[in-house]
């Protein structure tokens, strides 16, 4: 594939059959207790002979982590919060499963030989372990979009250097991968990601000002972790995904768009230069894209509900209202600005979402905080080239500091 549709070998397309499974695949799940982690392990439990679980990790829920490690006979379980190590050890006592804790242990677990790593830690906290997984030169199934947003080029360079395969787990990007099959990059005109519009799709601006965390956490279609659910309500999730798509596929910023599609049935539309549009459809269940990322290029039976378009009746589409939902526009501007701007955006968004969930920030102030943090970064000359993971982590720290300052002083 000379001019492949994937950005310069970011995704090394396995030749069909190349990965036909003879032995169990060694699998590590980073973020095993989360929504994506549990969906992944649900699939694993249905075909236990296909997988050998190496490492499972979580941040603070030692009991759930231990249960998963025991159920899946993992070699090692690692908890991010070192204060939980004693609990983890006691839950694992007598099982022969190793226990570890802290950032270094997370990284070490991610570096243990595995054929596939599900990178499903939420947020920039996933950067170092996901990089460690990428350096193995095997397969990275990437759910942690923040990694591509903050570290895009640096992460892809690590993938290329090790010869790893990068498979998107995000449903829209899995959809794009499928809709681009066989395409020459010159034939691709536009990639359009769909967004459900979240729980506030039809709320007027005045009402949005008063939106509460418990209302924002009620996603109409998808069941996901808290951070991405809030990102879906602000549509910053779509902004992050536009940046993610830019890094995964060979399109410019101006060839990427988002459209509201409340039914969450069509996940992505690829427009071709001849007027054809190829889209991927599926039920809103992450086990479909997870199964594809784990088994690519093979398709496996999943237990997801089958799509019944007759019952659904109609599929509708609306433009993104950029006044009420600033996320996609802010993200596109940060992507166009380049350098550390997307890392600062991501970090500021993480801080703002946490403040909103903690009742310290209004709903509309999430996007405002991100926008102001980026403006402040520009004014202070903090938007710089990011050439290494350390540069990205420094930009992430800047973004957090700017957002905290913005929240304290301006909102
Ligand atoms: P979640 O909050 O349900 O789970 C996050 C996991 O990461 C948990 O296992 C948690 O223990 C762990 N974790 C949290 N903070 C950590 C830290 N500081 N250090 C180490 N581990 C930590 O999140 P999720 O919804 O499963 O999302 C995970 C990732 O997948 C996110 O990047 C999200 O954007 C992406 N994603 C999720 C979905 C979805 O449907 N849930 C869809 C597409 C992409
Ligand atoms: Mg998505």
Pairing mode, strands 188-195 and 256-260: parallel
Res 16 pLDDT > 80: no
Of 36, 77, 194, best ligand 1 pocket probe by most atoms within 8 Å of the beta carbon: 36
pTM: 0.95
35 lines ligand 1 (CB under 6 A): yes
Q: What is the pLDDT of residues 231-279, one digit of tens each?
A: 999 999 999 999 999 999 989 999 999 999 999 999 999 999 999 999 9
- Taking the C-alpha atoms of residue 367 and residue 258, their distance in angstroms, rounded to an integer, is 17
Q: Tell me, what's the pLDDT at 12?
A: 43
Q: Within a domain: residue 259? A: no
- Taking the C-alpha atoms of residue 98 and residue 95, their distance in angstroms, rounded to an integer, is 9
- Taking the C-alpha atoms of residue 53 and residue 40, their distance in angstroms, rounded to an integer, is 11
Q: Within a domain: residue 222? A: no
Which of 395, 394, 399 has the alpha carbon at shortest distance from 369?
399
CA of 126 to the centre of ligand 1 (A): 9
Res 402 pLDDT > 80: yes
Q: Within a domain: residue 49? A: yes
Which of 310, 299, 402 has the alpha carbon at shortest distance from 351?
402
118 lines ligand 1 (CB under 6 A): no
Contact 264, 284 (CB under 8 A): yes
Q: Tell me, what's the pLDDT at 21?
A: 55
143 lines ligand 1 (CB under 6 A): yes
Of 104, 119, 120, best ligand 1 pocket probe by most atoms within 8 Å of the beta carbon: 120
CA of 241 to the centre of ligand 2 (A): 7
Specify the DSSP element, H or E, that contains 299: none
Contact 129, 142 (CB under 8 A): no
CA of 58 to the centre of ligand 1 (A): 9
Q: Within a domain: residue 190? A: no
CA of 78 to the centre of ligand 2 (A): 27
Q: Which sign does the torsion angle of CA 389, 390, 392, 393 carry?
A: positive
Q: Within a domain: residue 348? A: no
Res 4 pLDDT > 50: no
Of 41, 102, 225, best ligand 1 pocket probe by most atoms within 8 Å of the beta carbon: 225
145 lines ligand 1 (CB under 6 A): yes
Q: What is the pLDDT of residues 137-183, one digit of tens each?
A: 999 999 999 999 999 999 999 999 999 999 999 999 999 999 999 89
Residue nearest to atom 39 of ligand 1 (CA): 224
Residues 316-344, mean pLDDT to the nearest whole number: 98
Residues 172-200, mean pLDDT to the nearest whole number: 96
CA of 25 to the centre of ligand 1 (A): 23
Environment class of residue 409 by beta-carbon count within 10 Å: exposed (0-12), middle (13-18) or buried (19+)? exposed
CATH at 136: 3.40.50.720
Res 23 pLDDT > 90: no
What is the domain count for the chain?
1
Q: Within a domain: residue 104? A: yes
Q: Tell me, what's the pLDDT at 22?
A: 65
Q: What is the pLDDT of residues 360-400, one digit of tens each?
A: 999 999 999 999 999 999 999 999 999 999 999 999 999 99
Q: Within a domain: residue 138? A: yes
Q: Is 313 left (phi over 0), alpha (psi -120 to 50) or beta?
A: left
Share of the chain above pLDDT 70, in %: 94
Length, in residues, of the chain: 411
Which of 329, 325, 365, 333 has the alpha carbon at shortest distance from 348?
365
Q: Which atom of ligand 1 has the smallest separation from the CA of 224?
A: 41
Res 8 pLDDT > 80: no
Of 143, 193, 232, best ligand 1 pocket probe by most atoms within 8 Å of the beta carbon: 143
What would the 3-class secondary structure string for 54-74 be? EEEEECCCHHHHHHHHHHCCC
Q: Nearest-5° angle of CA 299, CA 302, CA 307?
A: 100
Q: Tell me, what's the pLDDT at 258?
A: 98
pLDDT band at 203 (very low <50, low <70, confident <90, very high): very high
120 lines ligand 1 (CB under 6 A): yes
Q: Within a domain: residue 198? A: no
Supply the range of the domain harboring residue 103. 3-172
Q: Tell me, what's the pLDDT at 275?
A: 98
């Amino acid at each position: 594939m000379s001019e492949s549709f994937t950005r310069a070998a970011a995704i090394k397309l396995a030749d069909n059959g190349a990965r036909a499974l003879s032995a169990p695949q060694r699998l590590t799940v980073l973020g095993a207790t989360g929504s994506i982690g549990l969906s992944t392990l649900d699939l694993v439990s249905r075909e236990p002979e296909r997988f050998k679980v190496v490492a499972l990790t979580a941040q603070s829920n030692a009991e759930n982590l231990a249960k998963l490690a025991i159920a899946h006979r993992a070699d090692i379980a690692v908890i991010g919060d070192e204060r939980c190590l004693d609990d983890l050890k006691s839950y694992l006592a007598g099982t022969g499963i190793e226990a570890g804790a802290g950032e270094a242990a997370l990284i070490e677990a991610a570096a243990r030989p595995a054929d596939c790593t599900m990178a499903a830690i939420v947020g920039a906290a996933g950067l170092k372990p996901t990089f460690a997984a990428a350096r193995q030169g095997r397969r990275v199934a990437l759910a942690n979009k923040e990694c591509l947003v903050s570290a895009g080029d640096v992460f892809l360079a690590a993938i290329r250097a090790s010869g790893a395969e990068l498979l998107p787990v995000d449903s829209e990007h899995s959809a794009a991968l499928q809709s681009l099959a066989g395409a020459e990059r010159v034939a691709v005109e536009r990639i359009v990601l769909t967004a459900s519009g979240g729980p506030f799709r039809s709320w007027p601006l005045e009402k949005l000002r008063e939106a509460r965390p418990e209302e924002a956490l009620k996603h109409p279609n998808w069941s996901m972790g808290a951070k991405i659910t809030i990102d879906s309500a602000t549509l910053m999730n779509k902004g992050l995904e536009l940046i993610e798509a830019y890094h995964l596929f060979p399109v410019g910023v101006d060839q990427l768009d988002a459209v509201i599609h409340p039914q969450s049935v069509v996940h992505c539309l690829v427009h071709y230069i001849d007027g054809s549009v190829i889209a991927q459809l599926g039920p809103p269940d992450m086990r479909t894209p997870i199964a594809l990322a784990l088994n690519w290029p093979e398709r496996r039976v999943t237990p997801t509900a089958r799509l019944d378009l007759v019952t659904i009746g109609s599929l509708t589409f609306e433009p993104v209202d950029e006044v009420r939902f600033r996320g996609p526009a802010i993200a596109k501007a940060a992507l166009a600005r380049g350098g550390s701007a997307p890392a600062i955006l991501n970090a500021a968004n993480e801080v703002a979402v946490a403040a909103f969930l903690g009742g310290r920030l209004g709903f509309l102030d999430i996007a405002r905080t991100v926008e102001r943090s980026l403006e402040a970064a520009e004014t202070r000359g903090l938007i710089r080239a990011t050439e290494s993971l350390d540069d990205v982590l420094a930009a992430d720290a800047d973004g957090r500091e700017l957002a905290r300052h913005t929240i304290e002083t301006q909102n």
